């Protein structure tokens, strides 16, 4: 072996959902919002000359608007290129002891990738038989804790009392609550920021704000932790967010009426879809997200996944222990979900 190969860092990468190139498909595999972003984001078309300039490294326009929206000081807001960037920066910034960090065995599959990449020891306490967090499993020495709420890929929301118990029992560690899906159901942990200085809440524009293509994520915490995040960011790449994202992100936050309307449409469609497929032999975990986690009483999930793909309907299948007989189905428009239900009616009759 050539000597330099011994010094290459090797990791098993995160595998994102498939982005098909075909036309005429129904895409329900990556939890994108089926409705476009607020019409206010069109403001970017008014000044394309801005693209010749570097963006504001502090992204102050967006930071200030998010601070106003959430009722916090601007020094408590950190923005990044999608919540993945925010989370990766958080791993680098906060998880630096020799103790293992903790996150569930069934959760967002980027967590273990970052832990491996940054050489952070980790343990994965198992969810219980109902795919719920066992909060007592986090009452032990650790180098930090991270989990989504609602969880992914299950969609299950943990009550805020359980979240608070984990936070207050780990005051010597940073606890990151990843709230990518919180707008579709459940109570945010943001009010706990004022009570616990070890809490970081992470959000994204990719789901409820229909802006996955712009890559906008943010964290809210106390000023000390946000400064630490910014110090790492500026030491790595000071110009992480482009000017259009900063401007369009701020405009999106201003349009509360459109935001609420589209979120409510997704929730309504989700509940109708769950009812529609129950009669076909499916059962779903209780979802507080913009997707459902479904299994059929007799047909293997992988078989349905492959058949749906042939019919140009894309859903997500995870070939992993405990969840390899479930499908994660993103919620699309009423028309898209009706088309998928029609496919399932025919397929489950076979």
Mean pLDDT of 49-77: 93
Domain covering 53-254 assigned CATH 3.40.640.10 in the classification: yes
Q: Determine if the pTM surpasses 0.75.
A: yes
Per DSSP, what are the bridge partners of residue 183? none
Measured CA to CA in angstroms, residue 285 lies from 122, 213, 296, 300, 327 at distances of 27, 28, 12, 17, 11
| CATH 3.30.420.40 is held by the domain 17-35+257-348 | no
- The mean pLDDT value for 288-313 works out to 97
Predicted confidence (pLDDT) at residue 15 exceeds the cutoff of 90: no
Residue 128 has pLDDT above 80, yes or no: yes
Task: Say if residue 263's pLDDT is above 70.
Answer: yes
237: pLDDT strictly greater than 90: no
Task: Decide: 305 and 329 in contact? Cβ < 8 Å.
Answer: no
C-alpha 240 chain-centroid distance: 19
pLDDT in tens, 91-117: 999 999 999 999 999 999 999 999 999
Cα–Cα distance, 76 to 224 (Å, whole number):
8
CATH fold match for the domains 17-35+257-348 and 53-254 = no
Collapsed DSSP state (helix, strand, coil) of residue 13: coil
How confident is residue 1, by pLDDT bands cut at 50, 70 and 90?
low
Structure tokens at 345: 């009616």
Q: In the block, which residue shows the tokens 């020495």?
A: 141
User: Rounded to an integer, what distance in angstroms lies between the CA atom of residue 273 and that of residue 335?
Assistant: 11
Residue extents of the structural domains in the chain:
17-35+257-348, 53-254
């Amino acid at each position: 072996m050539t000597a330099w190969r011994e010094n290459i860092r090797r990791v098993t990468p995160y595998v994102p959902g498939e982005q098909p190139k075909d036309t005429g498909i129904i895409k329900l595999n990556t939890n994108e919002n089926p409705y476009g972003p607020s019409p206010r984001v069109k403001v970017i078309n008014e000044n394309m000359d801005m693209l010749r300039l570097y963006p504001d490294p502090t992204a102050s326009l967006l930071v200030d608007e998010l601070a106003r929206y959430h009722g916090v000081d601007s020094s408590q807001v950190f923005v990044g290129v999608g919540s993945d960037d925010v989370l990766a920066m958080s791993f680098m910034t906060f998880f630096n002891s020799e103790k293992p960090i903790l996150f569930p065995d069934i959760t967002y599959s980027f967590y273990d990738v970052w832990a491996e990449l940054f050489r952070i020891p980790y343990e994965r306490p198992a969810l219980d038989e109902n795919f719920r967090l066992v909060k007592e499993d986090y009452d032990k020495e650790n180098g930090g804790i991270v989990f989504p709420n609602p969880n992914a890929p299950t969609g299950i929301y943990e009550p805020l009392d359980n979240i608070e118990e984990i936070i207050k029992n780990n005051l010597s560690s940073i606890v990151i609550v990843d709230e990518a899906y919180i707008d579709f159901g459940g109570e945010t942990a943001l009010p706990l920021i004022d009570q616990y200085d070890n809490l970081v809440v992470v959000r994204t524009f990719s789901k409820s704000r229909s802006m996955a293509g712009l890559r906008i994520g943010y964290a809210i915490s106390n000023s000390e932790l946000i400064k630490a995040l910014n110090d790492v960011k500026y030491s790595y790449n000071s110009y992480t967010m482009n000017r259009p994202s900063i401007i369009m992100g701020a405009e999106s936050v201003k349009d509360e009426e459109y935001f609420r309307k589209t979120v409510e449409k997704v929730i309504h469609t989700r509940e109708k879809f769950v009812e529609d497929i129950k009669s076909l032999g499916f059962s779903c975990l209780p979802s507080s997200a913009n997707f459902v986690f479904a299994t059929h009483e007799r047909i293997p999930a992988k078989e349905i996944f492959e058949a749906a793909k042939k019919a140009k309907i894309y859903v997500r299948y995870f070939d992993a222990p405990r969840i390899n007989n479930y499908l994660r189905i993103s919620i699309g428009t009423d028309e898209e979900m009706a088309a998928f239900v029609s496919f399932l009616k025919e397929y489950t009759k076979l």
